[in-house]
Structure 1
Amino acid sequence: MHQLFQKYLSTVKMLCPSVTEEALSFLEQGLTISNLDRGQYYIKAGFMQTSVGFVTKGLLRSFYIDSNGKEITLRFITDNDFATNYVSFIDLKPSNLFIQCLEPCELINISYTHMQESYRRYSDLERYGRLIAEEVIK
């Protein structure tokens, strides 16, 4: 198992202690890693977000551009947090937000398709998804 995947899967296990090794193994099969440089975008407004990113290293900024062309920062995203415009991601609609790296970043990604299949197959992973959604939407 990749060390970064282990870090992510341990957070799943913390939130849902009853999750099975079988479920974690299935979840791991759909994980990928993104390494982004300072200034790169994880999400750009106008594009669909096809994966949710769990930040293992780095600092990102979530923002939008108002009608006057001014960048409005919504939040900063750090280690062990999720980089997502979750509502757009779940609705499969283009994002209205940008998420940009403020320093080199490393993220673990899970695609929408794999996430939905994980929920369908394993109720503990569906519970995990609900808990994460509640946290991200706060």
Structure 2
Amino acid sequence: MTAALPNLKNYLQSKAGITEEQFEALTQNLKTATIEKGAILLKQGEICHHSFFVEQGLLRSYTIDDSGKEHIIQFATESWIISDRSSIFFNEPSDFFIDAVEPSTFVYLDQPFIHRASEMSTAFRIFNEKACWWSVLMEKPVLPFMSLAIQ
């Protein structure tokens, strides 16, 4: 699987100090997918069960307000992770959609992967905890204000 996931390998080695052997062990059961532009990975109201690591392409998360206007939360380029971490963490319906802005290949990162990587690497565990708290503290409070008209 290493040859098929060069960006994920580089990401985990540079950000979390994962060794070649650890990478092989972590990624042996990971699933990847290639999707077309416009394909939806997560719909608002669904519970998010995965984070998505972008190997190639561009994904985005966004919400749609009551008037039908889209509000982009985040873009995820190659070597970025995107998800609704709050939905995963609290097992609650997502506030966001996640879709492909262009044809994209991504890796599903499920909770067992996150737990194994956290056990192998303190740096990964700390990074993941910070990302979870950033999501909970920064994204949720902003949502009610996104549909307000600028005066």
Give the TM-score category using the shorter length: 0.7 to 0.9
* Number of aligned residues: 134
Instruction: Describe the superposition over 1:31-83 as per-residue Cα deviations: whole angstroms up to 9, x where unpaired.
Output: 11011111101211111222111101111221101132221112222111112
- More contact order relative to length (CA 8 Å, sep ≥ 6): 1
Which position in structure 2 is the counterpart of 1:56?
A: 55
Gaps of 5+ in 2: 139-151
Q: From the superposition, tell whether residues 73 and 85 of structure 1 become closer, same or farther in structure 2 (CA, over 3 Å).
A: same
Check if 1:65 corresponds to 2:61. no
For residue 124 of structure 2, the aligned residue among 111, 125, 128 is 128
Q: From the superposition, tell whether residues 94 and 117 of structure 1 become closer, same or farther in structure 2 (CA, over 3 Å).
A: farther
- Note if contact 1:30-1:110 (Cα within 8 Å) is conserved in structure 2: no
Q: Structure 2 length normalisation: TM-score?
A: 0.75
Query: What secondary structure, in the 3-state scheme, does the structure 2 residue paired with 1:108 have?
Result: strand
More displaced 10-residue stretch of structure 1: 65-74 or 49-58: 65-74
Instruction: Describe the superposition over 1:8-36 as per-residue Cα deviations: whole angstroms up to 9, x where unpaired.
Output: 1221110123x344432321123110111
Which position in structure 2 is the counterpart of 1:15?
A: 15
Q: Amino acid of the residue matched to residue 41 of structure 2? A: Y
Which position in structure 1 is the counterpart of 2:149?
A: none
- Note if contact 2:26-2:116 (Cα within 8 Å) is conserved in structure 1: no
Of structures 1 and 2, the larger Rg is shown by: 2
Structure 1 runs of 4+ aligned residues shifted over 6 Å read: none
- Note if contact 1:4-1:108 (Cα within 8 Å) is conserved in structure 2: no
- Note if contact 2:5-2:55 (Cα within 8 Å) is conserved in structure 1: no
- Note if contact 1:44-1:95 (Cα within 8 Å) is conserved in structure 2: yes
What's the Cα RMSD here? 2.2
Instruction: Describe the superposition over 1:70-111 as per-residue Cα deviations: whole angstroms up to 9, x where unpaired.
Output: 211122221111121122122222211001111101001121
